[in-house]
Structure 1
Amino acid sequence: MNIANVLTVLRILIVPLFLLALFAAGGHDTEWRWIAAALFGAAAITDRIDGQLARKYGLVTDFGKLADPIADKALIGSALIGLSMLHDLPWWITVVIVAREIGVTLLRLAVVRRGVIPAGRGGKLKTLVQSVAIGVLLLPLSGGFASAGMDLMYVAVVLTVVTGLDYLVQAARLWFGPGGSRAA
């Protein structure tokens, strides 16, 4: 265990606390929503920090390679599903984002013997915009501020689809690239 992995585990442990806060008092209590937003924000920040620490100090481990994406998907997925259950986010957005995340994970697994599809700038931007949009939607805001959260989420959906298609192209290149087509 190193500091990067500890932060990843901490992020995983925050997810149930975040959900408890999100759904407390019917899901729309102002104080609980602020607490849920703070927990989400803290978890999202640990994602950024643990990755930087792991790369900068050579703390990349097999555990981290496995646990970090699980933690990310648990945090983002639980927030999206929670917001949709509370009718604060349309279900179609949740379905698009969650389906893309599952699809990219399956694509990566399908081509892993031929190569690794690294996280690109688009994927990192997608995660950042998703996180900021979710953070804003979690806050008990109204008017233009609440609209800004949905506007950010629409941008996140576009980035989600575009980067998902990019992963699909990369996977096809690995699958059918040098070495000939894949034999069944």
Structure 2
Amino acid sequence: MTKDERRLVSPWNIANVLTVIRLALVPFFVVCMFLPGTGWRLAALAVFAVASLTDHLDGELARRYGLVTDFGKIADPIADKALTGAALVCLSLLGELPWWVTIAILGRELGITLLRFWVIRHGVIPASFGGKVKTVLQIAAIVLYIVPGMPEPVRWTVMGAALAVTIGTGIDYVWRAVRLRRVAKRVRGE
């Protein structure tokens, strides 16, 4: 699809609608997390699961049917960070997840977002396989923390893997951004 064809795609397409729904579900998830009782915790799990599924589905639909828009490129990562960030902060506020884990993951996410803006004029760094693994591990770890009565060793094992991959892919992203800037400067003769 060319740039001109992409401009003709309406921002009001199914992929973007799913992204907006995911963003709109975040406050409902947060409310469910703080209401007492197992029923509300399971409701939070259901909201998180539905929102997480829209993350996969919106990207798949956008690529498959040529629904990629500038709005989607900006809104999708914001919705992703809002959902996982809200979940991690809720879990830490509830005393179920150490704050240092939340800070490490959110710090990496914020840092990579800022890094993307730093290199955007030089090019786009595509999502890596490691980034996709990171997302899956983060979602799985959060789900295990939301599920009532999940054994701590299971939670910690998956969260530890998510944290390790999150930090590792962050380092990889920094390395690729630095290389991209160097190549762009050489091409421009700077």
The question of a shared fold, defined as TM-score above 0.5 by the shorter chain, is answered with yes
Q: How many pairs align?
A: 179
Q: How many Å apart are 1:43 and its aligned residue?
A: 0.3
Partner of 2:63: 55
Counterparts of 1:79 and 1:7 in 2: how far apart (Å)? Answer: 19
Q: How many Å apart are 1:118 and its aligned residue?
A: 1.1
Q: Which one of the candidate residues 92, 102, 111 is aligned to 1:103?
A: 111
Counterparts of 1:2 and 1:177 in 2: how far apart (Å)? Answer: 36
Q: What do residues 10-67 of structure 1 show as CA deviations (whole Å, max 9, x unaligned)? A: 0000000000000112xxx211111101100110000000000000000001110010
Which residues of 2 match residues 63-74 of structure 1 at below 5 A? 63-74=71-82
Partner of 1:86: 94
Larger mean CA deviation between 159-168 and 173-182 belongs to 173-182
Partner of 1:3: 14
Counterparts of 1:157 and 1:40 in 2: how far apart (Å)? Answer: 19
Q: Share of identical aligned residues, percent?
A: 51
Counterparts of 1:52 and 1:119 in 2: how far apart (Å)? Answer: 14
Native 8 Å contact 1:176 1:182 kept in 2 = no
Q: Which one of the candidate residues 174, 177, 181 is aligned to 2:180?
A: 174
Which residues of 2 match residues 153-168 of structure 1 at below 5 A? 153-168=159-174
Structure 1 portions without partners, runs of 5+: none
Native 8 Å contact 1:137 1:150 kept in 2 = no
Supply the RMSD in Å over aligned alpha carbons: 1.7
Q: How many Å apart are 1:142 and its aligned residue?
A: 3.9
Structure 2 portions without partners, runs of 5+: 1-11
Counterparts of 1:99 and 1:106 in 2: how far apart (Å)? Answer: 11
Native 8 Å contact 2:18 2:58 kept in 1 = yes
Counterparts of 1:40 and 1:90 in 2: how far apart (Å)? Answer: 20
Counterparts of 2:24 and 2:189 in 1: how far apart (Å)? Answer: 42
Query: Match of 1:180, SS?
Result: helix
CA separation of 1:178 and 1:3: change in aligned 2, threshold 3 A: closer
